[in-house]
Amino acid sequence: MSIFSSLQHVQTLDELILWGGYALLFAIVFAETGLFAGFFLPGDSLLITAGLIAASGKLDISLVIATLCCGAILGDSTGYFIGTRLQRAFFKKNETLFFRKEHVEKTERFYEKHGSKAVFLARFVPVVRSFTTTLAGVAAMPYPVFLFYSVTGASTWVLCFTLIGYFLATIFPDLVDYVHYIILAGIVIILISALRHLSKKT
């Protein structure tokens, strides 16, 4: 009960990170690719916010980066091995909260266009990164090749976004006080991009 009562006071992403610490950072990034939860988990904004918090001294930047990298790489491998076990039938199931055919089709087109490099590139594309690793398993990509692109992609993604937040807060210390507005701006940008994408389809 104490966990739920403490969660009642968590209202923003930075407060959630401070509440859950490194374990929460690992779990969210792992779930985003390993458990196909990229639709509603924060992803990029999580990394930037973690960097902002680390700059304030409340988290260690080295541990933040190591934790996020481990979560991303292990999540990738989990998604890959799910793909090798379930094969193509996995993508033919009925739509649910986590599985929408349009997202799978978008991922397949992305994978076909970029080949094995899709595992690296998809790390920077929301939604697509939630399915690409499983699709790589379905397509029977050799695991050493997959692991190479997974490690390099995850490490580059984590370093880029986490250090952006860290160095911005280091250069502009007062920026940490406006983290809520930064996250809100990021959400607005994502929503605008999504609406533009949908308008092109209609």
Q: What is the pLDDT of residues 119-146, one digit of tens each?
A: 888 888 777 788 888 888 887 788 999 9
Whole-number Å distance between alpha carbons of 99 and 122: 17
Top pLDDT among 93 and 23 is at: 23
pLDDT of residue 202: 44
Q: Is residue 183 part of a domain?
A: yes
Q: Is residue 7 part of a domain?
A: no
Over residues 68-79, the pLDDT tens digits come to 999 999 999 998
pLDDT-derived band at 6 (thresholds 50, 70, 90) equals very low
Q: Is residue 2 part of a domain?
A: no
pLDDT of residue 60: 93
Q: For residue 88, is pLDDT > 80?
A: no
Strands annotated E in 2-152: none
Q: Look up the domain containing 30 and give its range.
A: 12-201
Q: Is residue 3 part of a domain?
A: no
Q: Is residue 1 part of a domain?
A: no
Q: Is residue 98 part of a domain?
A: yes
Top pLDDT among 123 and 152 is at: 152
Q: Is residue 6 part of a domain?
A: no
- pTM confidence score: 0.75
Overall domain count for the chain: 1
- Which residues, in sequence order, are CB contacts of 122 under 8 Å at separation 6+? 107, 110, 111, 114, 128, 129, 132, 133, 153
Q: What percent of the chain has pLDDT over 70?
A: 63
- Which residues, in sequence order, are CB contacts of 47 under 8 Å at separation 6+? 68, 157, 158, 161, 162, 165
pLDDT of residue 143: 92
Q: Is residue 24 part of a domain?
A: yes
